[in-house]
Amino acid sequence: MFCNQCQETLRNEGCTVRGVCGKTPDVADLQDLVVHSLRGVSYFQSLVREQGPDREADELMLSALFSTITNANFDRNRMVDRIRRANVIRDRIRSQLEASGRTFEDLPDHANWTYTNEEEALEKAKGIGHLSIKDDDIRSLSLLLLYGIKGISAYAEHAYTLGFKDDPIFEFMNRGLLAYRDPDIDKEGLLNLVIECGQTGIRTMALLDKANTTRYGIPAPHNVRLGVGKNPGILISGHDLLDLEELLEQTRGTGIDVYTHGEMLPANYYPLFEKYDNLVGNYGGSWWYQVKDFDTFNGPVLLTTNCLVPPLDSYRERVYTTNTVGFEGVKHIPDRKPGQPKDFSSLIEHARRCPPPRELETGEIVGGFNHRTLWDLREKVIDAVSSGKIRKFFVMAGCDGRHKTREYYTEFAKALPEDTVILTAGCAKFRYNKLIKGDIDGIPRVIDAGQCNDSFSLATFALKLAEHLEVDPNDLPIEYNIAWYEQKAVLVLLSLLSLGIRNIHLGPTLPAFVSPNVRDILVERFQLGPNTTVEQDLAAML
Residue ranges per domain, the chain? 1-132, 222-352, 370-541
Contact 374, 459 (CB under 8 A): no
Q: Specify the pairing of strand 443-444 against strand 420-424.
A: unpaired
Nearest to 528 by CA among 505, 507, 508, 512: 505
Q: Domain 222-352: which topology? A: Rossmann fold (3.40.50)
DSSP track, 68-135 = TSTTTB--HHHHHHHHHHHHHHHHHHHHHHHHTT----S--GGGT-----HHHHHHHHTTTSGGG--S
Which secondary structure element, helix H or strand E, spans residue 333, and what is its range?
strand 331-333
123 by Cβ neighbours in 10 Å (0-12 / 13-18 / 19+) ranks as exposed
Q: Residue-wise over 477-488: b if at least 16 C-beta within 10 A, else e? A: ebbbbbbbbbbb
Q: What is the C-alpha to C-alpha distance for residues 319 and 321, in angstroms, rounded to an integer?
A: 7
Question: E strands of 420-521, at which residues?
Answer: 420-424, 439-440, 443-444, 446-448, 478-483, 504-507
pLDDT on residue 51: 84
Query: CA of 279: how far to CAs of 158, 199, 254, 255, in Å?
Result: 21, 36, 12, 11
Contact 66, 119 (CB under 8 A): no
pLDDT on residue 390: 97
Q: Domain 370-541: which topology? A: Rossmann fold (3.40.50)
Query: CA of 376: how far to CAs of 213, 215, 388, in Å?
Result: 16, 21, 20
pLDDT on residue 52: 85
**What are 472-513's pLDDT values in tens digits?**
999 999 999 999 999 999 999 999 999 999 999 999 999 999
Q: What is the C-alpha to C-alpha distance for residues 515 and 509, in angstroms, rounded to an integer?
A: 13
| Angle CA 496–429–419, to nearest 5 | 85
- Adjacent-strand bridge partners of 444: 439
Neighbour count for residue 414 (Cβ, 10 Å):
12
Query: CA of 70: how far to CAs of 4, 104, 239, 334, 459, in Å?
Result: 10, 36, 14, 21, 25
pLDDT < 70: residue spans in the chain: none
| Angle CA 273–153–321, to nearest 5 | 55
Neighbour count for residue 80 (Cβ, 10 Å):
18
pLDDT on residue 190: 98
Residue positions counted in the chain: 542
Q: What is the C-alpha to C-alpha distance for residues 269 and 276, in angstroms, rounded to an integer?
A: 12
497 by Cβ neighbours in 10 Å (0-12 / 13-18 / 19+) ranks as buried
Query: CA of 82: how far to CAs of 90, 157, 158, in Å?
Result: 12, 15, 19
Ramachandran bin of 500, using left for φ above 0, alpha for ψ from -120 to 50, beta for the remaining angles? left
**What are 393-443's pLDDT values in tens digits?**
999 999 999 989 999 999 999 999 999 999 999 999 999 999 999 999 999
Nearest to 330 by CA among 346, 354, 352: 346
Query: CA of 291: how far to CAs of 24, 200, 533, in Å?
Result: 19, 35, 29
| Angle CA 225–427–77, to nearest 5 | 110
- CA dihedral 458→461→464→465, nearest 10 degrees, is -110
DSSP state of 398: B
pTM of the model: 0.97
Q: What is the C-alpha to C-alpha distance for residues 393 and 397, in angstroms, rounded to an integer?
A: 12
pLDDT on residue 11: 94
Contact 364, 223 (CB under 8 A): yes
Neighbour count for residue 341 (Cβ, 10 Å):
14
Query: In 261-395, which residue ranges form alpha helices assigned H by DSSP?
Result: 290-297, 345-352, 371-376, 378-386
Residue 233 neighbours by CB under 8 Å, 6+ apart: 256, 257, 258, 259, 280, 283, 297, 298, 299, 351, 354, 356, 357
Mean pLDDT over each residue of the chain, to the nearest integer:
97
The SS3 of residue 529 is: strand
The SS3 of residue 308 is: coil
Q: What is the C-alpha to C-alpha distance for residues 10 and 327, in angstroms, rounded to an integer?
A: 22
HEC letters along 313-329: CCCHHHEEEECCCECCC
- 1-132 and 370-541: identical CATH topology: no
- Adjacent-strand bridge partners of 392: 420
Q: What is the C-alpha to C-alpha distance for residues 164 and 270, in angstroms, rounded to an integer?
A: 18
Q: Which CATH number fits domain 1-132: 3.40.309.10, 3.40.50.10490, 1.10.300.10, 1.20.1270.20?
A: 1.20.1270.20
pLDDT on residue 49: 87
Nearest to 132 by CA among 82, 65, 180, 193: 180
Q: What is the C-alpha to C-alpha distance for residues 180 and 68, in angstroms, rounded to an integer?
A: 16
Contact 320, 347 (CB under 8 A): yes
Q: Specify the pairing of strand 439-440 against strand 443-444.
A: antiparallel
